Amino acid sequence: MNTEENINEQKAENAIKHQGFLGSKPLVEFKGVTKRFGDTCVMDEMDLQMREDDRLVIIGPSGSGKSTLLRVLMGLEPIDKGEIHFDSKPYVSVDSKGRTQTDLATRSKVGMVFQHYTLFPHLSVLGNMTLSPVKVHGMGRSEAEDRAREYLGRLGMEDKLNSYPGKLSGGQKQRVAIARALMLEPKLMLFDEVTSALDPEMVAEIEKVMLDLAKQKMAMMIVTHDMYFAKKIATESVFIAGGKVVEKCDPEIMFNEPKEERTKDFLNKVLHLK
């Protein structure tokens, strides 16, 4: 098949995929979500949907609110207006007094990994992994320790169970952070620039872990400045700017022939096309 036929076929598939979630259920739905920091409106009545088998890559200019979007979805930031549904049920909403209400049982179905690992330096790897499941979610200690061993094993880190974060490389710390986020068996994993602070060979190591999770059909939302990795892992891509979703489509389409001028300008700059 030549390139043009390829693109046409992808377009047709894409059109089918976007007709009201045909083929798979919605997992996340932002409905008119507004988020302000003082006078800065970072999300402006934003609508965004993600299906349960998607790996959605979020791209956009610096300061466009990519991290904020993930933090809102993780329940780490209140919102000003709108609501978020998860698995077709209300998850985040705003009450009549303007306070954000978050369903905590649903929140435990979302795991997040940050750029700077956020491991506690005074706790061992095992301590880092079991702290929240035991103290916050009431998991029994021996079950938590068994799970920690299992997830560390899957990420090739079993032998570091008793190490402290200070003795680990950046890539190892990030693997522990990913294993920790998997402890509560989330339905969705959020990755916020998780390779930005790593040396190149460690970037490949973490990208492999993420690609392995993708193969296991883990739903993911990924913020990354690495457009090549974005294209590789994404089933869907979204470009946000000015508090809105500017364009959402199949990554092949977005990276080859985006429709919107703002997306084109941004990709031209970051991919050095011209």
Q: Please tell me whether residue 68 binds ligand ATP under the rule CB under 6 A.
A: yes
Stretch that binds ligand ATP, among 55-63, 124-132, 136-144, 259-267 (CB under 6 A): 55-63
The Cα 120–Cα 132 span in angstroms is 12
CB nearer to ligand ATP: pick between 65 and 258: 65
Rounded-to-integer distance, Cα 90 and Cα 101, Å: 10
37 binds ligand ATP (CB under 6 A): yes
Using rule CB under 6 A, residue 67 touches ligand ATP? yes
Instruction: Please check whether residue 32 is in contact with residue 46, taking contact to mean a CB–CB distance below 8 angstroms.
Output: yes
Closest approach, Cβ 203 to ligand ATP, in A, equals 17
Residues paired with residue 92 on neighbouring β-strands, in sequence order: 84, 102
64 binds ligand ATP (CB under 6 A): yes
Least separation, in Å, of the C-beta of 164 and ligand ATP?
29
| Residue 83: strand, helix, or coil | strand
Q: Identify the residue among 2, 3, 19, 62 touching ligand ATP (CB under 6 A).
A: 62
Helix extents (H) in the chain: 3-17, 66-73, 104-107, 125-135, 141-154, 170-182, 200-215, 227-233, 251-256, 261-271
For residue 201, CA distances in Å to 67, 155, 170, 173, 232 come to 24, 16, 11, 14, 17
Q: Is residue 42 near ligand ATP by the rule CB under 6 A?
A: yes
Stretch that binds ligand ATP, among 36-44, 138-146, 158-166, 241-249 (CB under 6 A): 36-44
Footprint of ligand ATP (CB under 6 A)? 37, 40, 42, 60, 62-68
